[in-house]
Amino acid sequence: MKFVGFFVLILLGLMAYIRLSPNDPTRWHQPIKGDQDKQFSAGIVRVIPANARQFARLHEIALSWPRTKVLAGSVEEGLITYISRSAFWGFPDFTTVEQRSDQIALYGRLRFGRNDFGVNAERIANWLDALAQR
């Protein structure tokens, strides 16, 4: 019985760490490197042709997404980093969106672990689908 209580305590501590650990904007809010799509186990980079108006719309879409908020940046800056959290554990994923002259670059990646199991690619695809429908 003591083992179960200890396990529960460890699990609660891990959940608290995941949800409450600070997320340093200077680490996550950086310009996106590269100008081509790239997918890897911990995230994705997408680059699409788009203008400043579409960038502003994409910002509205991101803010409407569940458990997503701005970590740093603004539409005026042309660079915004969002933090999106998973529902149960609260795992943070970061999505940086950068307005370039005639492109928008998006970079979604995880904070904890080695594999996001396609979560960031799915989120970015959904955001871009919503942008295409507006």
pLDDT at 127: 98
105 within a domain of the structure (yes/no):
yes
pLDDT at 132: 96
- From first to last of the 134 residues of the chain, give the pLDDT tens digit: 787 888 899 999 988 989 899 999 999 999 999 999 999 999 999 999 999 999 999 999 999 999 999 999 999 999 999 999 999 889 999 999 999 999 999 999 999 999 999 999 999 999 999 999 97
- Alpha carbon distances (Å) from 98 to 16, 20, 119: 31, 27, 20
pLDDT at 2: 81
82 within a domain of the structure (yes/no):
yes
pLDDT at 40: 93
103 within a domain of the structure (yes/no):
yes
| Structural domain boundaries, residue 96 | 24-133
Indicate which CATH number applies to the domain containing 55: 3.30.310
Is-contact 124 105, C-beta < 8 A? no
Report the alpha-carbon distance of residue 123 to residue 51 in Å, rounded. Answer: 21
5 within a domain of the structure (yes/no):
no
17 within a domain of the structure (yes/no):
no
pLDDT at 5: 87
Question: How many structural domains is the chain composed of?
Answer: 1
3 within a domain of the structure (yes/no):
no
pLDDT at 89: 87
